[in-house]
Structure 1
Amino acid sequence: MSGSSRVLIAEDDVRLAGMLEGLLRSEGFDVEVARDGQRALHLGLTAGFDAIVLDRGLPAVEGLDVLRRLRDSGITTPILVLSALGTAPDRVDGLNAGAEDYVAKPFDIDELVARVRALTRRASAVVPTVRFPGGRLDPESRTVTLDDDTTTALSERESALLELLARRPGQVFSRALLLEEVFAAADDPGVVDTYVHHLRRKFGRSLIETVRGVGYRMGSLS
């Protein structure tokens, strides 16, 4: 659904996941479901979501471990932990791991939808700093601050390209996709290579990796 807020549901209980998916879709959300922690981590790293509903008891990779890995990778998507573990220490563990909200099972459906909606509003209202290995980008001021506190100003297109790559660090982007998402007014695919060159000249070749025959993905300054 064009323009809908995108929500990832990470839940291994098939019936509950199906119920949540149907409920959120009926409320106008664009929903994707992951039924284990490995899939949730992959989607959280490579696809753009406005909110994530994350179960703690996931197979393959436990929910809080997924949460910590996403935060360590610079993913700032608002996350609501949904868990049968609902004591005060459990909630503290979830919030300390980087969650914005924590709801214990069983839960009230209307309250859950309201909480998810609040998270997606927060995501659309705030343009957070985007972290990547070796530095961080402030999209509003279009500046990069390296770990040694060196600050570099970017052009609008340089900032947009770096932001897209840094927000989805595991994804390989084709030139055609980058042209569509960052350079909407340009007709020449060569403009993508030009701006990759500009960023590499400022920060080094390792910042953006070339995937031969496919395109580009986020690299590292470290």
Structure 2
Amino acid sequence: MHRLLLVEDDHDLRGMVSETLVDEGYLVDQAPDGQRGLHLGLTRTYDVMVIDRRLPALDGLDLVTRLRSKAVAARALMLTALGTVDDRIAGLDAGADDYLVKPFDLDELSARIRALCRRTTDSTDALRVGAGLLDLSLRDAVLPDGTRIALSAREFELLRVVAARPNAVHSRAELRSRVFDEAAAASIVDTYVYYLRRKLGRSVIQTVHGLGYRLGSL
């Protein structure tokens, strides 16, 4: 069963959409504002997030941006009354995967969610890294603009291990044993984190002081 997050401040609309999706077999968590949506998005794993553009407490664009900055990989469908080209571009640039303008037909919403769920299922040959990807078949990184960056075997494996559990903090000792098992010192992890940051930007892997490293974003 696919798990969805629905972030919508309109009580009646939220209830109607949630009821429809539950009837179609989805597990649905609801949030009435951006702050609650951020908390759920960071603490639970979803296949698709349906997020209203205008939300109290935290705007929908800011919500998607923050979730992507924390390497949340769930597909995001943004709902909005703002239907201009610039508004759609802003949503997609923030990290949304699709955009649906209000008022919308529930059948169309359901079809778009099914399409996003298929994309989630079909993307097993790649891991999300913020708005970018780690291509597991070609073993390189794909930036948000589509640029591909070649990685060495160890750079790729280090990023793969971290990206496979995007919300976990990985200790240097753990990463040394999983990626560099023949290396004597855990400092080799720091060296390859430096290499990845030099190629992909400093935000690709976050330092959690005193604990280790966590996936960032491209």
CA distance in 1, matches of 2:87, 2:216: 34
Structure 2, gaps ≥5 residues long: 144-148, 182-187, 198-204
Q: Which runs of 5+ in 1 are unaligned?
A: 176-189
Alignment of 1:48-127 (within 5 A): 48-126=45-123, 127=125
Shift of the alpha carbon at 1:81?
1.1
Query: 1:150–1:113: structure 2 CA closer, same or farther, 3 Å change rule?
Result: closer
Change (3 A) 1:53 1:137: same
Q: Structure 2 length normalisation: TM-score?
A: 0.66
SS in structure 1 opposite 2:51?
strand
Q: Which amino acid aligns with 1:163?
A: A
- How far off its partner does 1:57 sit? 1.4
SS at 1:22's partner residue?
helix
Mean Cα deviation higher: 52-61 or 154-163: 154-163
Residues 21 and 154 from structure 1, CA distance in 2 versus in 1: closer, same or farther, beyond 3 angstroms? Answer: farther
Equivalence for 1:194: 177
Are 1:145 and 1:152, in contact at CA under 8 Å, matched by a contact in 2? no
Equivalent position SS for 2:78: strand
Provide closer, same or farther for how the CA distance between residues 202 and 50 of structure 1 changes in structure 2, counting only shifts above 3 A: farther
Q: C-alpha root-mean-square deviation of aligned residues, in Å? A: 4.1
The question of whether the paired residues in 2 share the 8 Å contact of 1:139 and 1:163 is answered with no
Write the deviation string for residues 112-162 of structure 1: whole angstroms up to 9, x where unpaired: 111111111112112445326xx963333455699xx67232599866532
Separation in 1, partners of 2:141, 2:82: 40
- Counterparts of 2:36 and 2:215, CA distance in 1: 22
8 Å CA contact 2:80, 2:101 repeated in 1: yes
1:34 equivalenced with 2:31 (yes/no)? yes
Q: Does the residue aligned with 1:130 lie in a helix, a strand or coil?
A: strand
Counterpart secondary structure, 1:102: strand
In structure 2, do the counterparts of structure 1 residues 20 and 34 end up closer, same or farther at CA, with 3 Å as the change threshold? same
Confirm whether residue 152 of structure 1 aligns to residue 135 of structure 2: no
Identity %: 37
SS where residue 218 of structure 1 aligns? strand
Partners of 1:172 and 1:211 within 8 A in 2: no
Whether the aligned pair in 1 keeps the contact of 2:129 and 2:163 (CA below 8 Å) is: no
Q: TM-score, normalised by structure 1?
A: 0.65
Aligned length: 197
Cα–Cα, structure 1 residues 193 and 154, in superposed 2: closer, same or farther, change >3 Å? closer
Alignment-derived partner of residue 7 in structure 1? 4
Separation (CA, whole Å) in 2 of partners of 1:150 and 1:104 = 38
The CA deviation at 1:210 is: 6.9
Would the aligned equivalents of 2:71 and 2:216 in 1 still touch at CA under 8 Å?
Answer: no
In structure 2, what is the Cα distance between the partners aligned to 1:217 and 1:110? 43
1:203 maps to which of 175, 178, 192:
192
Deviation string, structure 1 residues 50-85 (Cα, Å, up to 9, x no partner): 211110111111011222333444444322111233
